[in-house]
Amino acid sequence: MSDYTPPIANIEFVLRHVVDLDDLLGSGPFEDLDSETMSMVIAEVGRFIADVIAPINRDGDQIGASWNDGEVTLPDSFRSAYDQFVASGFGAVPFDPEYGGGGFPWITAIAIQEMLTSACMSFSLCPLLTQGAIDALMHHGSEEQRQTYLPKMLTGEWTGTMNLTEPQAGSDVGALTTKAEPVGDGSFRLTGQKIYITYGEHDLSENIIHLVLARTPGAPPGTKGISMFLVPKYLLNADGTPGERNDVSCVSIEHKLGIHGSPTCVLSFGDGGGAIGWLIGDEGAGMRNMFTMMNNARLSVGLQGLAIAERAYQQALEYAQERVQGTAVGAPPGTKSPIIDHADVRRMLMTQRSWIDAMRCLLYENAAALDRVTAATDPDARRRHQEWADLLIPLSKSLCTDLGNELTSLALQIHGGMGYVEETGVAQHYRDIRIAAIYEGTNGIQAADLVGRKLPMRGGDVVLEQLDIITERAKSLGEVEELAVFARNLDAAADTARRATRWLIENGMADPNDALAASSPYLRLLGTVVCGGLVAKAALAAASQLDGDADFNRARLISAKFFGEQLLPMADGLAGAVMAGAEDLFALTGEQLQ
């Protein structure tokens, strides 16, 4: 298995030339920061991750997490790496300095998460869930809760989880039945069972802070009757240190296709009378509060698609350069060529490279939009940034995790038969990334959210305004001779997306099944076109800097050109599926489908 090299130069390029980092820094909550400081932090974190985290990836897969009588044990290398991660302080970088954070924008966390996930996805899930829990407490917890729990969670000494899913309540969270009975002193006793709880039990940290959705007595059915509770693994002593074990137990862990080093737990609350917890925010506001954490997590899960695609691409590229087989066109007769010299292998490598560049643009743009919401002082500007961030969330999560699967599959294909055996390690990437399209809301749910909630914003104008921006960018692209075909394709793709959007506004809203039938192909179409617009911005920046780092910027330019000429046109082929309606989907009975 190849080593992992953090793609620092590509990350820096997107930060500076696509998401306009310099415009974000130096004002509002980020007024004391500059891009040079951020660059130093990202580079140092990248070095740490490559040296400390990447080497444990194989242990996560081959040794994995083990359960014994309620206790979960992780590989020794995980414990050592986690101790070093806590000591580094890198987990606190994007959070409020009042609680021990570094005060950096969220896009810094996204850059760190990308590298951490590429290095070891199983390991990365622990700080990812902790960051989501921190975000929820920042927004909805009381000041006492924040002061009590956040400092230790920011360091990573205590970790966090979110507890939604139950055996009978998967994506339908409103069907959950976990109960929370008031004790009378402000606390509650929780009883019930939760499943698929990532890092719900482990031996890395001193305490685990569970955020749990449950129902109080007399709560109405559905999501309106759900409240959020803070339930620590260990109750705290008067001095704030972990004390008595709370009534939370790990019944089992799942045996999964991938991410073996990440314990996916079944947790039982209240086997001994009730787990003690405290209400977070208002009673009945649990689902709304949890969405803070879920949206945070959805962006991070989308990032997993990029991160594993990047790791698999690095390995496939190295293999293609070393593996000798066949005679390439133009090679001397009788000689054997590295497979990178064969056109089809080049096609697969360029497809990976170009989509990875595009995904990084999309995900970092999404994170930057969230930061601009935080930094904005003008209400109209804040609204626009929030609309853009909200629109991008389902695109980031769904498009990038679908592509994570597809591009990692290409990496395996480049390895040929050696990709299908475990020794090379590429099969691990393929198994690990498969979950990303499923959890944090399946990609079908993300597509339904796009057409049901995000597209209707301002009657569709949020989407249409962004398509107009892309059309204008196509005009600028057309001024660069080398990018003329890209420019024409981008203009045509924006028109296709505009036509599909208007069809959905006019027809999909009248028949929900038509909208839902169109949702997944529409998400792929719109996501591809949005990526095209961002890649065009990157191409223009690279074209303007060819007299600087010529090799690097030429590679960026060719990657963008490949995207615009060979990948972007695929968006046009999705329009028929978007505008076909639901009739064909339901034309056959269940029996006829057999």
Please identify which residue in the block is written with the tokens 């790791």.
311
Rounded CA separation 536/357 (Å): 11
Strands (E), 121-175: 158-163
Q: Which of 170, 30, 14 is nearest to 106 (CA)?
A: 30
Interval 149-161 mean pLDDT: 97
Give Cβ neighbours of residue 389 (< 8 Å, ≥ 6 apart).
366, 369, 370, 373
- DSSP element (H, E) containing 189: strand 187-198
pLDDT at 168: 86
Q: Over 90: is that where the pLDDT of 253 sits? A: yes
CA atoms within 13 A on the CB side of 275: 33
Of the chain, the percentage scoring pLDDT greater than 90 comes to: 92
Give Cβ neighbours of residue 592 (< 8 Å, ≥ 6 apart).
none
Strands (E), 246-356: 248-253, 264-269, 275-280
Choice among 98, 144, 440, 591 that is catalytic: 440
Q: Over 90: is that where the pLDDT of 115 sits? A: yes
Give Cβ neighbours of residue 17 (< 8 Å, ≥ 6 apart).
537, 538, 541, 542
Range in 33-37, 491-495, 532-536 with the lowest mean pLDDT: 33-37
Give Cβ neighbours of residue 481 (< 8 Å, ≥ 6 apart).
none
Q: Over 70: is that where the pLDDT of 185 sits? A: yes
Using CA of residue 264, residue 229, residue 236, residue 192, what is the dihedral sign? negative
* CA distance from start to end of the chain: 42
Strand partners, 207: 158
Of the chain, the percentage scoring pLDDT greater than 70 comes to: 100
Q: Over 60: is that where the pLDDT of 590 sits? A: yes
Q: Residues 537, 17: contact at Cβ < 8 Å? A: yes
pLDDT at 174: 78
Band (pLDDT 50/70/90 cuts) for residue 266 is: very high
pLDDT at 1: 56
pLDDT at 547: 80
Interval 92-119 mean pLDDT: 96
pLDDT at 173: 80
3-state helix, strand and coil shares in percent for the chain, rounded to the nearest 5: 60, 10, 25
Interval 48-56 mean pLDDT: 98
Range in 90-94, 169-173, 327-331, 507-511 with the lowest mean pLDDT: 169-173
Band (pLDDT 50/70/90 cuts) for residue 546 is: confident
What does residue 32 show for φ and ψ, rounded to 5 degrees?
Answer: -95, 5
Both tokens of 447, joined, read 């597509």
Strand partners, 241: none
Using CA of residue 494, residue 496, residue 502, residue 504, what is the dihedral sign? negative
- DSSP element (H, E) containing 238: none
Q: Is the pTM above the cut of 0.95?
A: yes
Interval 457-467 mean pLDDT: 97
pLDDT at 529: 98
Q: Which of 439, 427, 398, 132 is nearest to 264 (CA)?
A: 439
Both tokens of 517, joined, read 């039938």
What would the pLDDT profile of 332-364 be if each residue is shown by its tens digit?
A: 999 999 999 999 999 999 999 999 999 999 999
Interval 63-78 mean pLDDT: 98
Q: Over 70: is that where the pLDDT of 286 sits? A: yes
DSSP annotation of 329: T
What average pLDDT is seen over the chain? Answer: 95
Strand partners, 229: 212, 279
Both tokens of 438, joined, read 């499923």
Outline where 200-285 has alpha helix (H): none
Rounded CA separation 179/260 (Å): 31
Vertex 357 angle, CA 571 and 370, to 5°: 90
Q: Residues 219, 254: contact at Cβ < 8 Å? A: no
pLDDT at 414: 98
Is 440 an annotated catalytic residue?
Answer: yes
Range in 238-247, 404-413, 507-516, 518-527 with the lowest mean pLDDT: 507-516
Q: Residues 543, 557: contact at Cβ < 8 Å? A: yes
Instruction: Give the amino acid at 582.
Output: A
Band (pLDDT 50/70/90 cuts) for residue 169 is: confident
pLDDT at 510: 85
Range in 16-30, 242-256, 443-457 with the lowest mean pLDDT: 16-30
